[in-house]
Amino acid sequence: MTLPSWQNEMDGNRRVGSMVRAALWLLSVVGEGNIFTKAELRSAFPEVAQIDRRIRDLRDRGWRIDTSRDDPSLKQEEQRFVSRGAEVWIPGQAKAPKHKGSLTTAQRQKVFEADGYLCRSCGIAAGEEYEDGVTQSVLNVARRKVLLNDGSVDYQFVTECKRCGSGSADREVNLGALLELVEDLAPMERRILANWIANDRRPLEPIDKLWGLYRTLPEASRKTVAEALDEAGAAGDETDD
């Protein structure tokens, strides 16, 4: 079957959307197994403001397009077109899989309870003030796309505050990759992680707190801290001698 041209916005009397054209571009120009860059994608579709989002939409239709998060050999600006999914250029094939309907109050409450009534991204509780003291948190239930270790996709619910949830609609979790990282841990590291999971918290060591404070400093103050560490290290070396 001859594919429609990715360059045509019309197929007969039917308008071809940018997601469909992006799929055709991947097949016709990039080819399965090959790498493309964001710059090349945007150059091919200069008139489409959100062409990156259209590529992400293809993943919901079974297309596998890896980023540097999925494949460490890729650079940040690179993506690999691994395999095609639904033939979205065929009428009726471009629809995304339907998710379950809205949650009931009881279902939402169950998610909140399972998550300890805390935002799982920043840890803030409902009604608690943010550090800026300007606003109070509002908790919502977010639908998170999860790539399971068998390669299938599931949509699971998680508690998230309104601030953390802003702009996170496309966020996804590669559970298979996470489980592989767990397998690579040393026995002692596994025991430490298991303890954090059992307590649902990670106690911070003094050096962790210092690092957190350092990250908030202006550039001039960061340089002062770095110089102080260098001086302390030099003094320590002299003492050892």
Q: The pTM is what? A: 0.48
Render pLDDT for 164-182 as a digit per residue (tens, 0 to 9): 877 555 678 888 889 889 9
**Range 226-232 average pLDDT:** 90
Supply φ then ψ for residue 152, to 5 degrees.
Answer: -80, 170
d(CA 57, CA 194): 35
d(CA 24, CA 1): 13
d(CA 86, CA 63): 7
* Relative orientation angle of helices 18-25 and 51-59, to the nearest 10 degrees: 80
d(CA 102, CA 122): 24
pLDDT (0 to 100) of residue 221: 93
Q: Which string of DSSP letters, residue by residue, matches 161-188?
A: EHHHHTT-TT-EEEHHHHHHHHHTS-HH
For residue 58, which amino acid is it?
L
